Amino acid sequence: MEQPGRMVRLLRFPPLLSRLRDHIRRMLRCALLLIAACIALSAACQSEPVNQLAADSSIVYRFELKEGALVIGRIVAADADSIHVASGSFSRHDIARSDITRASRYNEGSNRFGKNWFPAPAPSRNLIGATAIPMKAREIRFTSTYLLFDALSAGLTKRLSVSAGLEKTSLLSQSSVGGIYFGSLKYGVQVGDGLHVAAHGQVISIPYGGWAFTNSRRLNLGFLGGLATFGDENRNLTLGFSWSVLDFRWITRYPLITVGGQWRFGKRMGFVSENWVLPIPGSPSPYFLSYALRVMGTRICADLGFINNENLAQSIAPGIPFASFSVKW
C-alpha cells in the first residue's frame, strides 16, 4: 500500500530539474553574450601578417589560400613576393604572398593553430572545487577567495596533490576550538586522449562556539568521491560524485553531484562554471549555480562572477558576487 505514495514522492524530483534548466538558460544567455563580445574583439589577433612572414623552420604554420586550399608546414625560405613551405620530408610548396588569405601559427601551449597562448595557470580547479586534471609535480599554488579563505595547494607528484587552508577572521573568535579549517587530497590520472579521472576527498571543520553558541564544538564535514574531466586544459567539462563521510553521514544515501566546466576563449580570458546539487527524492533538493569570468596571466588568474539559486535570485537577480585569485610558482 505504501508503494504508490513512494512513487508520488519520487515523481516530485522533475520540478527541480525544470528549475535548474531555467537557471542554466539564464546563465548561458549571459555567458554567450560575454563570450561573443570577447571573441569578436580577439578574432583579429589570431592570424599572422602575411607581409611579415619570414623563414623559420622551428615554427609550424597553417596557410589558407584564396582557392580554398590549406597548406601546413614550415617556412624554409622567403622573399618579397613568395614563401617556400616544407610540408614534409619530400613535399615543397612555393606560395605567392598575394594568394594567402590567412596564416596561423601552431602553438603547443593551446595545441591549436592561431592561438599564441601560454599554458592555463589553474586547470586543476574550477571556482571552489577541483577538476580531475592533476597539478604538476612540485607546483605550488596560493588561492584566496574573498580575501578571507586562503589555501595553499601543492603537487606532490605528477598525480597526487594536496591542499590546506583557513578562514582568517575565524581566528579572532573567542572559541577555544580554533578557526575554520579546510583541506583536500586528489589523485588523478589521464586514462585517454582528453579524459582524466581522479579520486578526491575534501574536509572542512567549523567551530560552533564563540559566536552564537555558548558551548565550544566543531562541525566536521567530509566528502569522498570521484571526478571525470573531459577535454584539455583550456576547454573541459567535469562531472563529480561525492558522499559524506564525517558529520551528517545520513547524506551518504544521496551523492552530491557536481558539474563544472572551463572554456578559454582568449589568451587571457575564459569562462568558468561550477554547479552543485544534492538530489533528495520527495523533498526540495538544495542546489547552487555559479558562473564567472576568469582573467589569466602566466602565473596568476582571477575569477569574478556570481553564485545563485532560486531563492537567491528572488533577492539578488545575478546572485551573490564571487571573487578569488590564484598565484602559482
How high is the pLDDT of residue 101? Answer: 84
Same domain, 193 and 315: yes
Q: Is the pLDDT at 210 greater than 70, yes or no?
A: no
* Residue 187's CATH number: 2.40.160.40
Same domain, 26 and 72: no
Same-domain pairing of 128 and 221:
yes
Distant-in-sequence contacts of 45-54, Cβ < 8 A, 24+ apart: 45/267, 46/104, 46/114, 46/115, 47/102, 47/103, 47/104, 47/114, 48/103, 48/104, 48/105, 50/97, 50/100, 50/103, 51/97, 53/78, 53/83, 53/97, 53/100, 53/103, 54/78
Q: Do 59 and 88 sit in the same domain of this protein? A: yes
Predicted pLDDT of residue 109: 58
165-202: pLDDT as tens digits: 998 887 776 655 677 899 999 999 999 888 999 999 99
Shared domain for 54 and 26, answered yes or no, is no
Which band of pLDDT confidence, cut at 50, 70 and 90, is reported for residue 69? confident
Q: 44: pLDDT confidence band, cut at 50, 70 and 90? A: very low
Q: What is the pLDDT of residues 269-288, one digit of tens each?
A: 999 999 998 877 766 778 88
CATH number for the domain that contains residue 72 = 2.30.30.100
Instruction: Provide the domain limits for residue 206.
Output: 13-41+122-328
Instruction: Convert the pLDDT of each residue in 240-252 to its tens digit.
Output: 999 888 766 655 6
126 assigned to some structural domain = yes
The pLDDT assigned to 52 comes to: 83
Q: How much is the pTM?
A: 0.68
Taking residue 163's Cβ as centre, other Cβ atoms within 10 Å add up to 20
Domain-embedded: residue 6: no
Q: Tell me, what's the pLDDT at 90?
A: 72
The answer as to whether 321 is a domain residue is yes
